[in-house]
Structure 1
Amino acid sequence: MTPDVAPGSPEDAPADPEAVARAVCLRALTGAPKTRKQLADLLAERDVPEEAAATVLDRFTEVGLIDDAAFARAWVNSRQAGRGLARRALSSELRAKGVDPEVAAEAVELVDDEDERAAAHRLVERRARSMSRLDRTTATRRLMGMLARKGYSGGLAAAVVRDVLDGVAAEGADEALLDYDEEGALP
């Protein structure tokens, strides 16, 4: 009797290491794009011999199934737009994914200074609304910390936080003035 193995799983494949490597890579690429290093690590975890892994990874790269440059561009677009990450954080994440530093640098160049500043501004505006009851020093410290964790430089973070908090303070003053009638008394 055969052991309980799901049909089409790598264990079901012939003992050919390249066939196992192909099956593992195809299954991994079905869910989401992966870098060459991520796939190499996965093959190493599955005890695929290095030579077979390299052959399959080379072939997948040749036919375009593995494209670290495309992966890096997509990652930068997604993470910058969705999470508001700064270039420094994006570079760090790409390095952790095994993307070549030059390829990562090219992808991160897609984010210019204005994109980065606008993303920081959106993040701070969104978060500042929930901090209306905090004193300015505490709000500044928390907002600066949030931006630092997302990879923003101290100078940019300070400028954006100051701009947003000044705007919030001005809005608050305008609203307070609306609470008074023409003679300066509360209605």
Structure 2
Amino acid sequence: MGRVTGLDPDPRRPAAVRVHEDGAHAFTVAREAAARLGLVVGRELDLGLRHALQEAADTEAALRAALRLLGARAHAVAELGRRLGRKGHQPAAVQAVLERLAADGLLDDAAFARSFVERGAGRGRGPARLRRDLLARGVARADIDAALGAWLARSGEEPAPPRELLERRARALAGLPAPMRRRRLLAFLARRGYRGAAARRAVAQVA
């Protein structure tokens, strides 16, 4: 049975410690986990403690991966969970990390949906496309409805497709017969989330 022979601060994350067993690094866990488990130099690592340390190490590894992903861009809760799962992190560790990040305010699907809608609208995406993309990321319909509703309320009317975007596409289709060109333009707008009267009006202006 091994013993704890060292508890060193982790140079990459001050909130974690490196646990050494018989002189070799064995686990990296959060400081709070080390304190909760009563780790001290000289303590024997029985099977129960070893199992608890492994769970804490799994959670610490999942947390680090989550923070790296969030550092690159915002994520919805379910989306982040799926990405952590694909990286091989244990389901229990992933769930613990998602709950912690949500409690710390680093994961918030309502705020994510609002930001996603604003950014997507600025890139020429319409309501249907934005809804589809948010659903694919696992955002709840209630959060999507609230985000889209707030955006549409600020717009004051059904948003029109960006004119410059549509004109570029129309120029690329200039050699086609007019009816086919209009159908292609409507399909192009539908893929970007613009449908109905707003899409038809926009196409009529360029085709």
TM over 0.5: yes
Backbone CA RMSD of aligned residues: 2.6
The 3-state SS of whatever aligns with 1:116 is coil
Of structures 1 and 2, the one with the larger relative CO (CA 8 A, separation 6+) is 1
The 3-state SS of whatever aligns with 2:107 is coil
Compute the displacement of 1:90 (Å). 0.4
Compute the displacement of 1:99 (Å). 0.9
Compute the displacement of 1:128 (Å). 2.6
1:144 lines up with 2:201 in the alignment: no
1:163 lines up with 2:201 in the alignment: no
Note closer, same or farther for the CA distance 1:113–1:130 as it changes in structure 2 (3 Å cut). Answer: farther
Compute the displacement of 1:91 (Å). 0.5
2:205 aligned partner, one-letter code: D
> Equivalent of 1:77, from 118, 121, 137?
118
1:106 lines up with 2:149 in the alignment: no
> Equivalent of 1:56, from 85, 97, 102?
97
Aligned partners of 1:64, 1:156: CA distance in 2, in Å?
37
1:128 lines up with 2:170 in the alignment: yes
**What are the ranges of 5 or more consecutive residues in structure 1 without an aligned counterpart?**
1-6, 166-187
Aligned partners of 2:114, 2:137: CA distance in 1, in Å?
13
Q: TM-score, normalised by structure 1?
A: 0.71
Aligned residues of 1:120 and 1:157 also touching (Cα < 8 A): no
Aligned partners of 1:54, 1:139: CA distance in 2, in Å?
49
**What are the ranges of 5 or more consecutive residues in structure 2 without an aligned counterpart?**
1-10, 13-26, 30-53
> Equivalent of 2:66, from 14, 18, 25?
25
Percent identity at matched positions? 31
Residue 68 of structure 1 corresponds to which residue in structure 2? 109
Compute the displacement of 1:133 (Å). 4.4
Compute the displacement of 1:45 (Å). 2.4
Aligned partners of 1:113, 1:89: CA distance in 2, in Å?
19
Compute the displacement of 1:51 (Å). 2.9
Aligned residues of 1:35 and 1:97 also touching (Cα < 8 A): yes
CA deviations on 1:70-127 (whole Å, 9 max, x unpaired) are 2211211111111x1111110010010111111111111213464621x254432333
Compute the displacement of 1:69 (Å). 1.7
